[in-house]
Amino acid sequence: MDTDSATELTPEERRALATLADGPAPPADLELRTVERLRRAGALQRSDRRRRGAWLAAAAAAVAAVSGLAVGLWLGQRAPAPAAGAERYVLLLWEDARGAARSDPGAVADYGRWARAVRESGVAISGEKLAAERRVLEPGGAAPGAPGDTVLAGYFLVEVGSLAEAEAIARGCPHLRHGRVEVRRIEPT
Amino acid sequence: MTDEDAALAAAFLRDRDEAAFRALYRRHTPVLYRVAWRFLGGDGADAEEVVQETWAVAAERLASFRGQSSLRSWLTGIALNRCREALRVAARAPRAALEAAPATASAAAAGASRLDLERALAALPPGYREVLVLHDVEGYSHLEVAEILGVAPGTSKSQLSHARRALRERLGGAED
C-alpha cells in the first residue's frame, strides 16, 4: 500500500488525476529552440556534417528504423569514445537470401554479446540488423523481391586504426558461422 | 536506463549527434514539460524555459550519468531543481492564472472538473504538489519520487498522504 488507507485514492480520483497526464503538451517549436540553444553552446553537432560519406550506414540505418529496430539493438549499451585518429570501418554482413527470411533471436543475442565484448576491449562499435523485407531499385524501375543470391543482413561500424585491425575484429563476428563479412573503410568525403 | 535511452545517449555522447539528441528530446520532453508546468503553477513560458535549461544541463552532464536510475527520473530531478530555482528567483509562490481562481467549493475530487483539479493542484504547497504530480498524475513509483526529491521512500509516502488530504480539502470534498 502506498499510503495510509484514509488517503488511498478512490478509483474515480485515480482516473481524474491520471487524465491530467495527457496535457498540456510542449509547444511544437520548443524542440527547435532547444536545439538552437544547444548548438550555440557548442553542445550539438549537426548530423549531416558529422556523417562524412557514411552513405551506406545512413541508408542501412533508415531501413532498420523503418523495420522498427532500435538504434544500437545489437549493442544495447553505451560505446566508449573512439581513440583520436581512428578511422571508421563498416562490417557488412552478407548472407544467403533464403537464410535472411528466417528470424533467429538466439543469433541476435550472440551478435549482441560479441559486440559488447568488442566494446569492452575499448573499440567503439555500433550496429543494426536489417529486416528481411526489402526493395531493390534498378535503373528504370523497381524490382520488388529483388534478384541476387546474397543479401545484406546487417552491419557493424567500428572505429579502429587500420583495415587489418578491423579485419581482426571481423574474424570474431558470429556472422561468419553462416555468412560472409565484408570489411570496408568509410572514406571521408 | 532503458536500452533505447542507453543507445541514444551513447550516440549523442560519441560525437554530440543532433539526431540522437532530438530522439531523446522527443522521448522525454512531454513529461518534463507537464511536470514543470504544474510545478510552476501552470505557467507555460516558465515551463518552456525550464525544459530548455533541463536539456542544457543534461547535455553537459550526461557523460557522468551512470544509469543508476532511469533517464526519465534523472531528467525530472534536473527539471525540479530548475523549477525551484525559478520560483526562488521570482521570489514568489507559484501563482499563475490557475491559482488566481479558487476551486468551486462544491466540487469533490470524485466529480471535480479538470480545471478544478488543476486549480487545486496549483494552490497546494510546493512540496505537496511535487509528490502528487509525480506519483498520482505521472505515475512515478515512490522509489523514483524519493530519488527525484532527494528524500527517503517513506517520506515520499507520508508526504503523498498529506498532499492527497490537502487536495481533497481544496476541492471541498470531506474526508471520510
- Contact of A72 with chain B, judged by CB distance below 8 Å, is answered with yes
Among A117-121, B39-43, B125-129, name the most confident range: B125-129
The answer to the question of residue B99 being in a domain is no
Q: How far is A188 from chain B (nearest CA, A)?
A: 16
Residues of chain A found within 8 Å of residue B132, distances taken between Cβ atoms: 17
Shared domain check, B11 and B88? yes
Structure confidence by residue, pLDDT tens digits, B137-162: 999 999 999 999 999 989 999 999 99
Shared domain check, B79 and B112? no
Contacts 24+ apart (CB under 8 A), A141-146: none
The CATH number of residue B158's host domain is 1.10.10.10
Shared domain check, B84 and B61? yes
CB-nearest to A34 from B20, B55, B161 is B55
- CA A12 – CA A9 distance, rounded (Å): 8
Q: How far is A51 from chain B (nearest CA, A)?
A: 10
Shared domain check, B87 and B109? no
The answer to the question of residue B14 being in a domain is yes
Residue ending a domain, among B46, B62, B94, is B94
Instruction: Give the pLDDT of residue B97.
Output: 47
- Can you read off the three cell numbers belonging to residue A2? 502506498
Shared domain check, B10 and B69? yes
What is the b/e burial string over B10-23, where b = at least 16 CB atoms within 10 angstroms of the residue's CB? bbbbbebbbbbbbb
Instruction: Give the pLDDT of residue B37.
Output: 94
Give how many domains chain B has, as a whole number. Answer: 2
Shared domain check, B139 and B79? no
Burial level of A73, CB count in 10 A (0-12/13-18/19+)? buried
Vertex A72: Cα angle to A171 and B50 (nearest 5): 150
Please state, for a pLDDT cut of 70, what percent of chain B lies above it: 85
Q: Pick the residue from chain B with its C-alpha nearest to A40.
A: B56
The CATH number of residue B19's host domain is 1.10.1740.10
Pairwise pLDDT comparison (B134 vs B18), residue with the higher score: B134
Picking from B2, B3, B66, B141 by the largest number of A CB atoms within 10 A of its own CB, the best residue to mutate is: B3
ipTM of this predicted structure: 0.84
Q: Do B135 and B112 touch, CB atoms closer than 8 A? A: no
Per-residue pLDDT of chain A (189 residues; tens, 9 = 90+): 455 677 888 888 888 898 898 879 998 889 889 998 998 888 887 654 444 334 344 444 443 443 333 334 454 444 444 445 678 999 999 988 776 545 566 777 788 888 887 887 677 888 888 888 777 787 876 565 555 678 898 999 998 888 888 888 888 888 888 889 999 999 877
Picking from B129, B164, B171 by the largest number of A CB atoms within 10 A of its own CB, the best residue to mutate is: B164
The answer to the question of residue B58 being in a domain is yes
Shared domain check, B161 and B82? no
Instruction: Give the pLDDT of residue B99.
Output: 47
What residue numbers bound the domain in which B116 lies?
104-176
CB proximity list for B14: less than 8 A, separation 6 or greater: A79, A81, A82, A124
The answer to the question of residue B51 being in a domain is yes
> Mean pLDDT score of chain B, rounded to an integer?
84
CB-nearest to A37 from B14, B44, B52 is B52
Structure confidence by residue, pLDDT tens digits, B88-115: 877 655 555 454 444 443 444 444 588 8
CB-nearest to A21 from B56, B138, B160 is B138
The answer to the question of residue B173 being in a domain is yes
Shared domain check, B86 and B131? no
Q: How far is B90 from chain A (nearest CA, A)?
A: 22
Sign of CA dihedral B100, B106, B108, B110: negative
Shared domain check, B158 and B108? yes
Q: Which helix (H) or strand (E) holds B130?
A: helix B126-132
Shared domain check, B110 and B90? no
Shared domain check, B84 and B154? no
Residue ending a domain, among B74, B94, B114, is B94
